[in-house]
Amino acid sequence: MSALVEGSWDDARAIAATTFKRLPSESMALNKSLGRTLAVDASALCDLPTYATSAMDGYAVCGQAPWRIIGEVKAGLPMKDVLQEGTAVGIATGAVIPVNTFGVIRWETAHVNADILEGDVVADQDIRPAAHECTIGDVLISAGTTLNPAMIGLLAAAGLDTVQVFRKPKVALVLLGDEIQLTGIPSEGLVRDALGPQLPGWLEKLGCEIVSTHYISDELELVVESLQKACATADIIITTGGTAQGPRDYLHSALERLNANILVDTVAVRPGHPMLLADIDGHALFGLPGNPQSAIVALISLGQPVIDSMLGKPAQELQVVKTHDELTAPPEFTRLIIGNVRDGEFFVAPYLGSAMLRGLAQSTGFAVVTTRLTSPGQSVRWLSLP
């Protein structure tokens, strides 16, 4: 497969979304599955509700008024006998409806004198029927869905103890550069590392597991060695810097040494132009530019589609919004502009430079601009940050 060189942003994302295989699945305890992606449909193991239950605290009655109160039904303690004509039992919300119940009278509208109950009731009043929400075998959550707390609660109610989820992609970070300072205030021409601290957070949000982080100098042998080690433990290798063609950019040479298949080599997008995607014997490599905002653009542009495909997620369809501001893009380039959507409108964030982080820190995504001039009120696509 020949590399897409200086190709369009949409074509690069399509390659990223369709090249790599899904990861294997694993069984996981339901209560540990938050944020994991289902590998198979999750179906109900029982009807929900499993029994007909009371929707209110009150009285379950049989027949017409008046009724004689003969006892009480608590949640979790069903009545074993059949309710007889002219009788009633006190009942708690969620308690199982006795056999022969006509309806439930709420306690606040009931009229009780000693053990005699009177009140108005219609058939099936305040009764939650069995299987009203789902029946056994119904698909509740589809494969490819990332589980949230409400979904986990639904599956627990439907009888599941475990779910089948995709294994998390394992990621090795290889951070290149002779100018990086890891702690303290930068001095003597060095710059603080802004990618090492933030990339794990983005990747965890995308559903990945970081297995290693290595900082190396811009030397070819070190790059080759680090990529070889990363391939031994990770599904995905992420490099920062070294993607251009400068005298100290060795990523291309290292990939050639490893017989890698370069899939995307630069993209017609700003920022993030020198992003790279390669396949090293089935391992995905994202080459992120060194400038912080450009790196995150590249991660979301190429990395997210690869990660989603490994997790069996459907391709992301971008939302369309109106822009509040005038937006521009270079000729024949896509431009990704950081900002926020409020009430369906896109607002540009400040500090747009590819080396700047302040605007990114105040934004929730990017407007995807493909025309040289987009006037206020016109439509743009919206790429959300994870």
Rg (CA), the chain: 30
Decide: pTM greater than 0.95: no
Q: Which domains does the chain have, with CATH numbers?
A: 4-23+168-310 (3.40.980.10), 35-47+132-166 (3.90.105.10), 53-128 (2.170.190.11), 319-384 (2.40.340.10)
- How do residues 39-91 score in pLDDT, each as one tens digit? 999 999 999 999 999 999 999 999 999 999 999 999 999 999 999 999 999 99
For residue range 333-374, list pLDDT tens digits in order.
Answer: 999 999 999 999 999 998 888 778 899 999 999 999 999 999
Above 60 in pLDDT, residue 98? yes
Query: Which one, of 349, 371, 377, lies nearest residue 362 by Cα?
Result: 349
Do 351 and 167 meet the contact criterion of CB atoms below 8 Å apart?
A: no
- Cα 32 to Cα 160: distance, rounded to the nearest angstrom: 13
What is the rounded CA–CA span in Å between residue 366 and residue 381? 8
pLDDT, one tens digit per residue, over 260-286 is: 999 999 999 999 999 999 999 999 999
pLDDT in tens, 121-130: 999 999 999 9
Which of 289, 283, 288 shows the shortest CA–CA distance to 306? 283
Give pLDDT, residue 114: 94
The dihedral built from the CA positions of residue 337, 341, 345 and 348, taken in this order, carries a sign that is negative
pLDDT at 193 over 90: no
Region class of 177: left (phi > 0), else alpha (psi between -120 and 50), else beta: left
Q: Which residues, in sequence order, are CB contacts of 61 under 8 Å at separation 6+?
A: 67, 83, 87, 88, 101, 102, 103, 104, 105, 117, 121
pLDDT at 279: 97
Q: What confidence score (pLDDT) does residue 80 get?
A: 93
Neighbours of 187 (CB within 10 A): 7
pLDDT at 248 over 70: no
pLDDT at 54: 97
Query: How high does pLDDT run on average in the chain?
Result: 94
Q: Is the dihedral of CA 236, 240, 245, 249 positive or negative?
A: negative
Nearest-5° angle of CA 160, CA 304, CA 210?
75
Whether pLDDT at 247 is above 60: no
Mean pLDDT of 229-257: 86
CB of 229 within 8 A of CB of 280? no
Q: What is the pLDDT of residue 353?
A: 80
- The predicted-structure confidence for 163-183, as pLDDT tens digits, reads as follows 999 999 999 999 987 778 888
